[in-house]
């Protein structure tokens, strides 16, 4: 466990008796929470425990129920909107990134705070120079002039972090800041957090990656079902104790893993080149989990999209069960028997305003077409109900709008959507991004079950314990090329990282 400096007793933020009710359901119930100067406070809990709601109250997105109090630097406050919170010295890095895709990186960093010239027009040179300063602090070579829509998830996350740094806030709230980041980018972020901590900033750190908590945080508060059930110095906790507080019971067998299949090769990829990847060759068998990892921008997502037909191949070949494939679109991938779970479920995996059922059956509607060309809704309902039960999706019913579900349950809906096409190959890109420890365990169990039924699984992940825990073989990507391969028994985090940075 990393040694943390003493915690200041000077509170920046002090919440007492905070409650919040939505449509008759109490989401927060008299929660006390405080963050001191020079403190990195972990805020932990399962999806739906109330973490994000509590922080949205702090930042003026939601209004708390009557009865509680919020003090910032000793003065009682209540914000009506996020802009008021920002000018009071509070910055928040949201889990669901709040960048404007059509604007440049620089424009996003200083949106609403752009430097002006003598004519009161935006000074674009100064804007880019200031942006470069904060990107350099995070060791990012991102062009400030590039549109955010052209960046990967990990790069967009670093832009979010740079924006928070640019605010020079006294209190910084980080909601799943390392989602989509590799180990190297995570360490860069941690260095920045330590500098901010040493400057006397208060930091709220929300993460489902519990190993990070002991590296960077010096205190922790755990929420369960809207109640604060534990709070104290990080030395008072270990991972098992945190998990017990979060879920109310122990979780055994964190990474369920069965032996790989009999070696029958199902997927053969030879010399595959596409935008972002070059000359990728590998084989994957029935009942096998083949993992891919690398630094942000190393080509993992591009590989997954090329295997699915979402990126055009420039060279090379893909064979499935000995049959050459010509994939020009995702529809071709689905017809061939390949399913893809994208890393960004919010914008690519699900239609947030549609129901659980409509999302789940969207790509498999041809399964439910009657001889008369109409949708057989009874069969569709039965299939959706079966996945809701099998995946233990917590939803009031199949007609619930998917945006109202927790992150873990949304991810299980996206996974069910991929599997409803009855694929032979399932490509998973960051399958547990933003998912709590309990839901992660359920997703790992499902992956192991699919594997036992002969499904070939391609796992693209920046979560090293996950990768090592459930993969049968691991390939390392660097600058769009394969740069290492490990069998399960020989793979270690250090060995993988060495190949990723080489």
DSSP 348-365: II--TTSBHHHHHHGGGG
Strand order in the sheet with 11-22: 25-36, 11-22, 69-72, 75-76
User: Comparing 1-89+169-250 with 265-501, is the CATH topology the same?
Assistant: yes
Q: Which tens digits make up the pLDDT trace of 188-237?
A: 888 888 988 998 999 999 988 888 999 999 999 999 989 999 999 999 99
Which pLDDT does position 4 carry in this prediction? 43
In this structure, how many other beta carbons lie within 10 angstroms of the beta carbon of residue 327? 21
Helix/strand number for the chain, H first, E second: 16, 20
What confidence tier does 44 reach under pLDDT thresholds 50, 70, 90? very high
Q: What is the pTM of this model?
A: 0.68
Q: What's residue 480's pLDDT?
A: 92
Question: CA 330, CA 341: separation in Å to the nearest integer?
Answer: 12
Contact assessment for residue 240 and residue 41, using Cβ atoms and an 8 Å cutoff: no
Give yes or no for residue 156 having a pLDDT over 90. Answer: no
3-state secondary structure of 442: helix
CATH number corresponding to 1-89+169-250: 3.40.50.300
Give mean pLDDT, residues 3-15: 65
CA distances from residue 27 to 80, 92, 95 in whole angstroms, order as listed: 20, 20, 19
Per-residue pLDDT band at 9 (split at 50, 70, 90):
low
Do 82 and 163 form a contact (C-beta atoms < 8 A)? no
CB 176 within 8 Å of CB 208: yes
Q: Which region among 127-131, 272-276, 374-378 has the lowest average model confidence (pLDDT)?
A: 374-378
Rounded distance between C-alpha atoms, residue 117 and residue 342, angstroms = 42
Residue 131 pLDDT: 93
* Residue range 470-486: mean pLDDT, rounded: 94
Q: Is the pLDDT of residue 8 over 60?
A: no
Alpha-carbon torsion, ordered 367, 369, 371, 373, to 10 deg: -150
Superfamily of domain 265-501: P-loop containing nucleotide triphosphate hydrolases (3.40.50.300)
Residue 1 has pLDDT above 70, yes or no: no
pLDDT digits (tens, 9 = 90+) for 136-151: 888 888 999 999 988 8
Please compute the mean of the pLDDT values over residues 280-308 and round it to a whole number.
92
pLDDT of residue 47: 75
Kindly report the number of other CB atoms within 10 A of residue 399's CB atom. 10
Domain boundaries, the chain: 1-89+169-250, 97-167, 265-501
For position 297, what pLDDT does the model report? 79
Whether 2 has a pLDDT exceeding 70, the answer reads no
In eight-state DSSP terms, residue 342 is -
pLDDT attached to residue 264: 85
């Amino acid at each position: 466990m990393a040694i943390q400096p003493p915690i200041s007793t000077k509170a920046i933020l002090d919440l007492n008796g905070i409650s919040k009710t939505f449509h008759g359901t109490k989401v927060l119930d008299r929660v006390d929470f405080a963050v001191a100067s020079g403190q990195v406070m972990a805020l932990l809990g399962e999806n739906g425990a109330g973490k994000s709601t509590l922080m949205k109250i702090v930042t003026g997105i939601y209004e708390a129920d009557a009865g509680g109090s919020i003090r910032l630097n000793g003065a009682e406050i209540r914000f009506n909107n996020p802009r008021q919170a920002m000018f009071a010295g509070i910055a928040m890095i949201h889990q669901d990134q709040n960048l404007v895709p059509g604007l440049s990186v620089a424009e996003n960093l200083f949106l609403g705070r752009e430097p002006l010239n003598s004519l009161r027009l935006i000074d674009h040179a100064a804007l880019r120079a200031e942006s470069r300063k904060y990107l350099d602090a995070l060791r990012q070579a991102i062009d400030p002039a590039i549109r955010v829509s052209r960046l990967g998830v990990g790069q967009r996350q670093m832009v979010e972090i740079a924006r928070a740094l640019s605010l020079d806030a006294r209190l910084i709230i980080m909601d799943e800041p390392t989602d989509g980041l590799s180990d190297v980018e995570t360490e860069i972020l941690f260095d920045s957090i330590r500098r901010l901590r040493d400057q006397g900033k208060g930091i709220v750190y929300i993460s489902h990656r519990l190993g990070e908590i002991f590296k960077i945080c010096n205190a922790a508060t755990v929420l369960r079902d809207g109640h604060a059930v534990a709070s104290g110095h990080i030395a008072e906790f270990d991972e098992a104790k945190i998990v017990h507080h979060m879920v109310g019971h122990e979780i055994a067998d964190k990474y369920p893993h069965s032996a790989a299949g009999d070696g029958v090769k199902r997927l053969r990829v030879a010399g595959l080149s596409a935008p972002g990847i070059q000359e990728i060759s590998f084989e994957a068998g029935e009942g096998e989990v083949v993992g891919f990892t690398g630094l942000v921008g190393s080509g993992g997502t591009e590989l997954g999209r090329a295997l699915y037909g979402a990126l055009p191949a420039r060279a090379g070949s893909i064979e499935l069960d000995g049959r050459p494939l010509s994939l020009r679109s995702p529809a071709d991938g689905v017809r061939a028997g390949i399913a893809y779970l994208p890393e960004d479920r919010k914008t690519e995996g699900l239609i947030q305003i549609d129901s659980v059922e409509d999302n789940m059956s969207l790509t498999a509607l041809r399964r439910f077409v009657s001889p008369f060309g109409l949708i057989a809704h009874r069969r569709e309902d039965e299939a959706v109900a079966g996945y809701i039960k099998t995946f233990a999706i917590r939803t009031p019913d199949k007609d619930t709008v998917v945006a109202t579900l927790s992150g873990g349950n949304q991810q299980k809906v996206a996974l069910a959507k991929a599997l409803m096409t009855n694929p032979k190959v399932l490509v998973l890109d960051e399958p547990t991004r933003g998912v709590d420890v309990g839901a992660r365990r359920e997703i790992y169990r499902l992956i192991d079950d699919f594997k036992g039924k002969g499904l070939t699984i391609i796992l693209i992940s920046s979560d090293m314990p996950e990768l090592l825990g459930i993969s049968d073989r691991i390939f390392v990507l660097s600058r769009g090329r394969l740069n290492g391969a490990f069998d399960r028994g020989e793979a270690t985090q250090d060995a993988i990282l060495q190949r990723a940075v080489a």
